C-alpha cells in the first residue's frame, strides 16, 4: 500500500491549542487506515493526516517530517508490532504521544499492559465505536503532551532566569568587594609616589608605587571585562528567548 500525502499545506495552518494538526497513522490494513483517517479528518478540521502501512516507512516519514504531533499505530504490522515502534521511538528520542490500536474487546490484555509500560500514551481496542475512541484518545494524548511541554519550558525559563539573577548579583558583589579596597590601594600608591617626589627619595620608592598603580588599573580593567561578559550573557539569553518565541508562532 502506498502512503497518502498530507492534506493541504503543512506550513499554512495555525497551531491549534486543542486538536492535533499533524498526525501519522501506521495501520496494516488499507481500508481500516482510510476509515481512521476519515474519522480524524472529520473531527480535526485542519488536521494533516499521513497514512503508512509499516514501521520502516513510519520512521522514514518521522525523519522527513518532524512536525508530526501524534501517532496511531496498529499493534500488528508487517515488519514488527507496536512494541517495536515504541522502543524505536524511545531510542531515537522522538518526543510524540502514541495511541496503539489493539485487537477486539476480550483479546490483547497482555498487549495493553505491555504497550503502556513501553511508553504509549493510550490504547484502543477494535470495537463498534473504536474509530471515535481513537479520535478522542489521540486528541487527549496530544493535548496532555503539549501541556507537559509547556510546563517543562516554564520550568526551564524559571531556571534560566534564576541563573541570570545569580550572574548579575555575583558580578555586582565581586565588583563592589574589589573596587572598595582597590580604590584605597590606588590612592595610597599615588600618595606614596607624590611623597617620594616631594622628598626626593628617587625611584626606589616611586617605581614600586607606580607599579602598584598600574596593577590597580589592570584589575579595574578586568572588572570591566567581567561586567561586559555579564551583559553578553544576558543579551544572548534575550535573543534565545526571542528566537524561541518566533518559532512558536510558526514563522520560518
pLDDT tens-digit readout, 186-232: 778 788 778 877 777 777 777 787 788 788 888 888 777 777 777 77
pLDDT over 90 (residue 27): yes
Averaged pLDDT, 31-36: 91
Averaged pLDDT, 236-250: 50
User: Three cell numbers at 131?
Assistant: 474509530
pLDDT for position 238 = 55
Are 105 and 57 a contacting pair, CB within 8 Å?
no
Say if residue 101 is exposed, middle or buried (CB neighbours under 10 Å; 0-12, 13-18, 19+): buried
pLDDT tens-digit readout, 68-111: 888 999 998 999 899 999 998 888 777 788 888 887 666 567 88
124 or 177, higher pLDDT: 124
State how far the Cα of 89 lies from the Cα of 68, in Å rounded to an integer. Answer: 13
Q: Which residue reads 568587594 in cell numbers?
A: 177
User: Three cell numbers at 165?
Assistant: 539573577
For all residues of the chain together, what is the average pLDDT? 77
C-alpha radius of gyration, the chain, whole number: 32
State how far the Cα of 144 lies from the Cα of 139, in Å rounded to an integer. Answer: 9
Q: pTM value? A: 0.57
Pairing of strands 22-26, 70-74: parallel
Nearest residue to 40 (alpha-carbon basis) of 164, 129, 136: 136
pLDDT tens-digit readout, 41-70: 888 887 788 899 999 999 988 888 878 888
Amino acid at each position: 500500500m502506498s502512503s497518502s500525502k498530507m492534506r493541504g499545506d503543512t506550513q499554512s495552518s495555525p497551531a491549534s491549542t486543542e486538536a492535533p494538526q499533524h498526525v501519522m497513522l501506521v495501520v496494516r490494513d488499507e481500508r481500516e487506515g482510510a476509515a481512521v483517517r476519515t474519522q480524524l479528518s472529520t473531527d480535526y478540521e485542519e488536521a494533516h493526516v499521513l497514512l503508512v502501512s509499516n514501521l520502516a516507512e513510519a520512521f522514514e516519514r518521522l525523519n522527513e517530517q518532524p512536525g508530526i504531533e501524534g501517532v496511531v499505530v496498529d499493534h500488528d504490522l508487517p515488519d514488527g508490532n507496536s512494541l517495536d515502534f515504541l522502543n524505536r521511538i524511545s531510542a531515537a528520542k522522538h518526543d510524540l504521544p502514541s495511541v496503539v490500536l489493539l485487537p477486539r474487546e476480550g483479546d490483547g490484555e497482555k498487549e495493553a499492559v505491555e504497550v503502556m509500560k513501553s511508553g504509549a500514551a493510550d490504547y484502543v481496542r477494535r470495537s463498534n465505536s473504536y474509530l471515535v475512541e481513537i479520535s478522542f484518545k489521540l486528541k487527549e494524548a496530544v493535548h496532555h503532551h503539549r501541556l507537559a511541554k509547556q510546563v517543562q519550558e516554564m520550568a526551564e525559563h524559571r531556571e534560566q532566569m534564576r541563573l541570570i539573577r545569580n550572574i548579575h548579583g555575583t558580578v555586582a558583589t565581586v565588583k563592589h568587594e574589589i573596587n572598595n579596597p582597590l580604590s584605597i590601594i590606588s590612592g595610597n600608591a599615588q600618595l606614596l609616589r607624590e611623597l617620594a617626589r616631594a622628598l626626593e627619595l628617587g625611584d626606589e620608592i616611586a617605581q614600586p608605587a607606580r607599579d602598584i598603580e598600574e596593577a590597580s588599573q589592570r584589575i579595574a580593567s578586568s572588572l570591566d571585562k567581567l561586567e561586559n561578559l555579564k551583559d553578553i550573557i544576558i543579551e544572548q539569553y534575550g535573543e534565545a528567548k526571542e528566537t524561541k518565541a518566533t518559532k512558536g508562532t510558526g514563522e520560518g
